[in-house]
Chains A and B, each alone.
Chain A
């Protein structure tokens, strides 16, 4: 059913259609609307049977989810940013135990400085946690990915983060096709846990594993994600046959057939990029887009084959590996190892900095001309940065960086002068 609906609400509808049995809620922007909506559904018994638990922290949210999932319940929670970091220990643990929890990450920057706006540094910080991570381009895809995520997680007994850009998607009202319960039920069978805490068949879950078997446990987790690389496209195509929509999959390409330059990105920025690419195509540029849907597992083969015929690619990512550069870019470059392509990285949109077409046009053109440095910081206020660097060169202790920069940008009022 088509609805004009907020992204968070749409996701809540989708999650509810998946019949979660335990939902853990802890408020953190910009994820909060999702669990609020679910809370109302449980309270009104529209979603039943379901236990909705107002936990005391994200750490508890993930921990309660672990318990629920291990006891055979379909468990769901949502978080973002600091919350994801606060639950990190449990995030790793859920993956280690192979518990098929689905969690929405409403992507948001992580502090300090505290910042509630969107970038990808939160979920990318959990890159190696063992969770699968699927990135939604728009709210329809966010809805569809959640439905696929439960199926995939439970098939493989591995947890999944469905990542959607905070505010940009979560708070955006768009037209979304909310599937019917029958459609979802047809696609998503009831949860049959691979292992379950059951008094009639006791098992010990979470043993201490020493050097003699730890590597094997880790390899098996890796092997599972490799299996996911096969299953994700299959599930996406099955999804298409049930719901009539193409969403999910490992990667998606856009106008790459004869492209010499390919822009690689994840999440909602793809929309802006596609617009720019369309405009540039209109001007005759041979440029295309590669969308990474599945960040983990990372589809090396698919990325490689998508890029193999271009001459250069630019990874535009909303994340930064401080002291190194791009995070996604590193993976993409690995995918094309030995292919002789030029690869560029653009760090953009950190902490919610808007990414405009007007910025992307020159960036892409420079990339086409191979005039870019290996790592570019889009829309960086070099003046402010350089002034701070200069100050620091002069005195080793030069006060809070962020405040200084805001001064330089004239944002902080004169009274702090």
Chain B
């Protein structure tokens, strides 16, 4: 074919016209920090593991998850999931059920027997961990994977700490806990039970570093005048005794004093032990109650009663004296001088716990404040090589925070052992709701996990909340909007009027072809998850 001059052209020859020179702004890909990840006390890469769960690759999802936290099955049951509170999807319909997917992955891992991989060669260093609770086990897990030799010394008869002695079975079945603990021990971690450390400085001998994670087991007591015959127990002891052979005798009418999650756990436990009345007495109102609302709700469903705006003033045999309270303008309870009595076979005090600091006596340069051990940013106490975490350092006290402490401490211990300092990556900017283009997410409400029927909840310690099956776990995972992180939806590749986005193939994301990108910004505007940013072109 002899093409006529000028009026007939070869196809695709416009490639010689580099329209990139028109640009005043250029799009760049970036990873923003998803609010869930930002909110996770254990620093989980939630968006990261959901990404794999979405494609049904649960093992990979689990492996990404356990890079940060070795307890997915536990977390999936007991974590209060602040991630879900921050989830951007909550502003659209309802938050992604991160916790339920986490549990699904954890259970799946147990079911399929997935094992941790040991990622580093042996370092020849030895680390002592005191306490086999969530933070101690977490630290052990991370340190072991980093190649260190780890020995846990636990004062109690079983590993798990508060996961075992503080959380009732109906929330955390023990076989689940045991499986996740065993998996950590399978990494070669040595666990010495019934091995109380009385003097840490002495105990550290032969170790290159130590991590203290003894928790807070001493029940805080309020001063309540009590008659000799009054049956008063503390919540910690009560929940601990649930792990023994002999179940505690509480009577038919049990009053729990306190407003935290422990108070709820105790009241629900009492119901299951046969109490006809389990009454929580709390000085303030429901809005002010520290316990999580869903736990309050579950307790109420099970017949737990709550007496609001009441303080216990006197405990006698079978009877309590209660003073009515009102809230001042700051929301603090103020006595009214009005008293009532109420019947109670047992009074359980659930007023919080303190740390047993006995093993720290005489440690040089250690700072104790408000009953907690002070640590610097790297989790190290004033005594070199001695690190601490979990409930014994100042912070919110829950399993997830503890697991996070364990990880953080492990990283710093590792750095300490190598004679370097650990510098965490700079946090990416937050992928807040405004950075998303939520049009692209189909409407899909959250999947509700099944609940045990109410009769069995009131009479047995069977697990209350069920898990998701694969179908709805997948559904739930796919509700994730992948905030701030490219999930390869191809929008940028599609919406570019100039074909200036190059698709690199599955898992490899995209890159811009700045030879042709005119900087219109459509890719950034139509990126569902806010993973593209327009930046001024430097001219």
Question: Is there a contact between chains A and B in the complex with CB atoms less than 8 Å apart?
Answer: yes
- Does B508 count as interface, using CB distance less than 8 angstroms? no
The answer on a CB contact under 8 Å between A213 and B4 is no
- Does A96 count as interface, using CB distance less than 8 angstroms? yes
Q: Which residues on B sit within 8 Å (CB–CB) of A213?
A: 5-6
**10 tightest A-B CB contacts, nearest first:** A204-B9, A213-B6, A202-B11, A209-B6, A207-B9, A217-B6, A205-B8, A98-B4, A195-B1, A207-B7
Instruction: Bits for A185-208, please: 1 = Cβ < 8 Å to B, else 0.
Output: 000000000111000011111110
- Does A128 count as interface, using CB distance less than 8 angstroms? no
The answer on a CB contact under 8 Å between A195 and B6 is no
Q: Which of under 10, 10 to 19, 20 to 34, or 35 or more describes the interface residues of B?
A: 10 to 19
Closest to B12 in A: A202
The answer on a CB contact under 8 Å between A216 and B5 is yes
The answer on a CB contact under 8 Å between A217 and B7 is yes
Q: Which residues on A sit within 8 Å (CB–CB) of B10?
A: 203-204
Q: What secondary structure prevails in chain B residues at the interface with A?
A: loop
- Does A380 count as interface, using CB distance less than 8 angstroms? no
The interface on chain A, measured as residues whose beta carbon lies within 8 A of the other chain's beta carbons, has a size of 20
Q: Which residues on A sit within 8 Å (CB–CB) of B11?
A: 202-204
Q: Which residues on A sit within 8 Å (CB–CB) of B8?
A: 195, 203-207
The answer on a CB contact under 8 Å between A194 and B2 is yes
Q: List, sorted by A's number, 18 A–B pairs whose CB atoms are closer than 8 Å.
A: A98-B7, A194-B1, A194-B2, A194-B4, A195-B1, A195-B4, A201-B1, A202-B11, A203-B9, A203-B10, A204-B11, A206-B7, A207-B7, A209-B6, A213-B5, A217-B4, A217-B5, A220-B4
- Residue numbers of B with Cβ under 8 A of A are 1-11
A195 touching B5 in the complex, CB below 8 Å, given contacts A202-B11, A203-B11, A204-B10: no
Q: Which residues on A sit within 8 Å (CB–CB) of B6?
A: 207, 209, 213-214, 216-217
Closest to A201 in B: B1
Q: What secondary structure prevails in chain A residues at the interface with B?
A: loop
Q: Which residues on A sit within 8 Å (CB–CB) of B3?
A: 195, 203
Q: Which residues on B sit within 8 Å (CB–CB) of A194?
A: 1-2, 4
Q: How far is the CA of A195 from the CA of B6 in the complex (A)?
A: 13
Q: How far is the CA of A201 from the CA of B2 in the complex (A)?
A: 12
Q: How far is the CA of A207 from the CA of B11 in the complex (A)?
A: 11
- Does A14 count as interface, using CB distance less than 8 angstroms? no
- Residue numbers of A with Cβ under 8 A of B are 96-98, 157, 194-196, 201-207, 209, 213-214, 216-217, 220
Q: How far is the CA of A194 from the CA of B3 in the complex (A)?
A: 7
Q: Which residues on A sit within 8 Å (CB–CB) of B7?
A: 96-98, 205-207, 209, 217
Q: How far is the CA of A203 from the CA of B1 in the complex (A)?
A: 10
Q: How far is the CA of A305 from the CA of B200 in the complex (A)?
A: 125
Shortest Cβ distance from A223 into chain B, in angstroms? 11
Q: Which residues on A sit within 8 Å (CB–CB) of B4?
A: 97-98, 157, 194-195, 217, 220
Q: Which residues on B sit within 8 Å (CB–CB) of A204?
A: 8-11
Closest to B14 in A: A204
Q: How far is the CA of A204 from the CA of B10 in the complex (A)?
A: 6
Q: How far is the CA of A146 from the CA of B31 in the complex (A)?
A: 71
Q: Which residues on B sit within 8 Å (CB–CB) of A207?
A: 6-9
Shortest Cβ distance from A128 into chain B, in angstroms? 18
Closest to B2 in A: A194
Q: How far is the CA of A98 from the CA of B3 in the complex (A)?
A: 10
Interface centre among B4, B5, B8, B11 (most CB of A within 10 A): B4
Question: A204-B10, A213-B5, A216-B6 provided; 19 other pairs, C-beta below 8 A?
Answer: A96-B7, A97-B4, A157-B4, A194-B4, A195-B2, A195-B8, A202-B11, A203-B3, A203-B9, A203-B11, A206-B8, A207-B6, A207-B8, A207-B9, A209-B7, A213-B6, A216-B5, A217-B4, A220-B4
Shortest Cβ distance from B400 into chain A, in angstroms? 60
Q: How far is the CA of A214 from the CA of B6 in the complex (A)?
A: 8
Q: How far is the CA of A203 from the CA of B7 in the complex (A)?
A: 10
Q: How far is the CA of A195 from the CA of B4 in the complex (A)?
A: 8
Q: How far is the CA of A205 from the CA of B2 in the complex (A)?
A: 12
Q: Which residues on A sit within 8 Å (CB–CB) of B1?
A: 194-196, 201, 203
Closest to B9 in A: A204
Q: How far is the CA of A207 from the CA of B2 in the complex (A)?
A: 16
Shortest Cβ distance from B17 into chain A, in angstroms? 13
Q: How far is the CA of A220 from the CA of B4 in the complex (A)?
A: 9
Shortest Cβ distance from B4 into chain A, in angstroms? 5
Shortest Cβ distance from B360 into chain A, in angstroms? 81
